[in-house]
Structure 1
Amino acid sequence: MSVDILPLKSESKNKDRDENGAEPSHPITKKGILTSFKTGKPMTIPETDILGKCRFVSEFEKLNRIGEGTYGIVYRARDTISNQIVALKKVRMDQERDGIPISSLREIQVLLNCKHENIVHLKEVVVGKSLESIFLAMEYCEQDLASLLDNMQAPFSESQVKCIMLQVLRGLRYLHHNFVVHRDLKVSNLLMTDKGCVKIADFGLARWFGLPLKPMTPHVVTLWYRAPELLLQAPTQTTSVDMWAAGCILGELLGHKPLLPGRSEIQQLELIVDLLGTPSDAIWPGFSGLPALQNYSLKQQPYNNLKQKFPWLSAAGLRLLNFLFMYDPRKRATAEECLQSSYFKEPPLPCDPKLMPTFPQHRNIKGGSKAGPSDNTGAGDQTNNLPAISDLLGSIVKKRRVE
């Protein structure tokens, strides 16, 4: 069946008019219908197949715009029913002609199946008046680490860095134990509540994985956090790509600036080699056979310069960084192994999350994009939404929860 959703026609023209004989302001749409590929005739969605409805975005009051990423615009909004503040992420549909983008479906599926304090919580999916108006209502976090790093007068202390990394690693352990690889871990995708709780967000590139591993596109993970196997176009990816990104985040927090800020894939490889030395088949079996190396060769640099980069870091801290930056993905640290590192058990000890510095007012600025995008499908949409959209998307969401 196709997924063309149409308003259900009324049985007679008289029922299409109000008591004064006027046409209704919107079509009568009590049920949605599907169109059969075989006959081209409309088919009613059986009541037994509708497991629930998505709420309408008109039930949310948009307060201000707090961010925009590759996969959607994010607003701070108030749920007028519960009076809770939420983050409302509008699914980007600008270039879509075949329905909801696969990245958004993956994000919805992954988040509906994740329940962990260090993973952002998806509360529900809400809809507007057209198929292009789909929003993810998520728990609201007062700040993201990227903005904090840009706006803090004093950088995080080592005790605070340990507190952040422990929470990131716990979130990654949960994801990886549940066969999810994030594939876009970076400081701007780490949120923090006003209680100091760090949450991994933005799952648009996340994927489930299994054994045996299947090929995935290598063009994932923001360049500064991209693992060498991705840069060298290895055909398969594992959770190790997230662990490399975690190492980059740890280095960035410790050094108070991005660790490997390359401007191109070639320069990114050069920065990695400058920091860690040139890899070889001896330390990374199969290295010389990676596809990208057929086009160019890496410069020879025999030294590991992590100690020179972080001369004040303890031996345990350097061991952890080296473990996260192992060239061979099979030897790279797992989240579980990192959590057992002695680095987190030596002074200065990780601080209590409740003692983390917070700046809740940073994302609560009024007036920023209050009116929303120009397509008029923002949180101000009126209640003439198509129930068919709500029914169908609600069925997908509720069914996923049941499974």
Structure 2
Amino acid sequence: MAEAACPEQEPEVLRLKRLRGGGFFPVPPEDRLGRCRSVKEFEKLNRIGEGTYGIVYRARDTQTDEIVALKKVRMDKEKDGIPISSLREITLLLKLRHPNIVELKEVVVGNHLESIFLVMGYCEQDLASLLENMQTPFSEAQVKCIILQVLKGLQYLHENFIIHRDLKVSNLLMTDKGCVKIADFGLARAHGVPLKPMTPKVVTLWYRAPELLLGTTTQTTGIDMWAVGCILAELLAHKPLLPGSSEIHQIDLIVQLLGTPNENIWPGFSKLPLVSQYTLRKQPYNNLKHKFPWLSEAGLRLLNFLFMYDPKKRATAGDCLESSYFKEKPLPCEPELMPTFPHHRNKRAAPASAGAESQGKRSKP
């Protein structure tokens, strides 16, 4: 009885250090979360995936009834605030507004300083899950529809001086209305002129451009365009184009497909930091046509343009959008005419399978 009569325990007083004048000041309970809403206003429905830097849930906003994606920011080893990768993602996404870029709606918080969630627009599918579970592959018209949307999103990013640096099928989401959105900006970076050195350990191996594999420190939008070539080829072939098991194997697969690079086709190639560590096989031929014997001349031209060894000569998103490949039959289908699919990601406990294993390999950096 005595316990029941006790008033509810008051939260511990939060005190912050003054920047000027010294001393501390108390933070009233109603101001603890700042202007952020509480994550308690969202009902978690199920876990739908794991991004580069956080777990993602499907959730319902109890205030509006809207279904959203709730991404928990990883704080594994952080003692001094939010990880730099998450700060980059938040800063970039708050500035970006485009139909083909996933939308960051707001940042919400839990009871602890390390409980931070990003509230994103919800998409029913990711392309990796779709590719693993589809009964019949995408038609060429549907592939064109998907890639055109990716290119429009990328053109917007690159015009705003942002390199995504982790494009792959598992980071492409699709709504039930056929709208494709680029997601997971944990590795994205803004770049300026002149280009500053960045770590080459970015982009998942199967989608990693040759200049990254050979140790370049100057990264351009060309690394995203190489990944687009890999995604386009994967959608057309219904399987990953260059599924390397290591960096050496990845380079070898690229050389087998495109021929051995040299100074003539790639000025500066011989000066790349890691070139001396590899003995590249002598392979004088481009085998794209053998890999895709049924693809039109325009389609092969586009793939070759995306797979130029020299990043300076590689296709831009704008170049690709003008490609005659998208103007010939079969014409790209309209997004709203894309088929709808079962929501595989919403199964609470999906059985382990070869498909799941393949998707895991596809997703690892």
With normalisation by structure 2, the TM-score equals 0.90
Q: Partners of 2:12 and 2:294 in 1: how far apart?
A: 69
Q: Partners of 2:91 and 2:51 in 1: how far apart?
A: 19
Q: Partners of 1:288 and 1:199 in 2: how far apart?
A: 37
Q: Is the 8 A contact 1:194 1:360 kept in 2?
A: no
> Gaps (5+ residues) in structure 1?
1-19, 369-403
Q: Is the 8 A contact 1:64 1:367 kept in 2?
A: no
Q: CA deviation at 1:309?
A: 0.2
Q: CA deviation at 1:96?
A: 1.6
Q: Partners of 2:44 and 2:6 in 1: how far apart?
A: 36
Q: 1:341 aligns with which of 323, 338, 346?
A: 323
Q: Is the 8 A contact 1:79 1:86 kept in 2?
A: yes
2:338 is matched with 356
Q: Is the 8 A contact 2:52 2:184 kept in 1?
A: no
2:12 is matched with 27
Q: CA deviation at 1:39?
A: 7.8
Tell me: higher relative CO, structure 1 or 2? Use CA pairs within 8 A at least 6 residues apart. 1
Q: CA deviation at 1:52?
A: 5.9
Q: Secondary structure at the match of 1:229?
A: helix
1:321 is matched with 303
Q: Partners of 2:347 and 2:168 in 1: how far apart?
A: 24
Q: Is the 8 A contact 1:86 1:137 kept in 2?
A: yes
Confirm or deny that 1:159 pairs with 2:126: no
1:199 is matched with 181
2:362 is matched with none
Q: Secondary structure at the match of 1:326?
A: coil
Confirm or deny that 1:210 pairs with 2:192: yes
> Gaps (5+ residues) in structure 2?
351-365
Q: Deviations over 1:199-229 (max 9, x none)?
A: 0000000000000000000000000000000
Q: Partners of 1:210 and 1:51 in 2: how far apart?
A: 34
Alignment of 1:2-401 (within 5 A): 22=7, 24-28=9-13, 33-34=16-17, 36=19, 41-42=23-24, 53-366=35-348
Q: Secondary structure at the match of 1:126?
A: strand
Identical-residue share of aligned pairs (%) = 73
Q: Is the 8 A contact 1:216 1:237 kept in 2?
A: yes
With normalisation by structure 1, the TM-score equals 0.82
Q: CA deviation at 1:22?
A: 4.5
Q: Secondary structure at the match of 1:33?
A: strand
Q: Secondary structure at the match of 1:216?
A: coil
Q: CA deviation at 1:360?
A: 4.8
Q: CA deviation at 1:362?
A: 2.2
Q: Partners of 2:151 and 2:22 in 1: how far apart?
A: 51
Q: Which protein shows a greater Rg?
A: 1
Q: Partners of 2:226 and 2:206 in 1: how far apart?
A: 11
Q: Is the 8 A contact 2:248 2:278 kept in 1?
A: no
Q: Secondary structure at the match of 1:125?
A: strand
Q: Secondary structure at the match of 1:348?
A: coil
Q: Partners of 1:341 and 1:84 in 2: how far apart?
A: 38
Q: Partners of 1:263 and 1:366 in 2: how far apart?
A: 30
2:363 is matched with none
Q: Deviations over 1:1-58 (max 9, x none)?
A: xxxxxxxxxxxxxxxxxxx7757242355xx62454x98632578xxxx996000000
Q: Is the 8 A contact 1:145 1:191 kept in 2?
A: yes
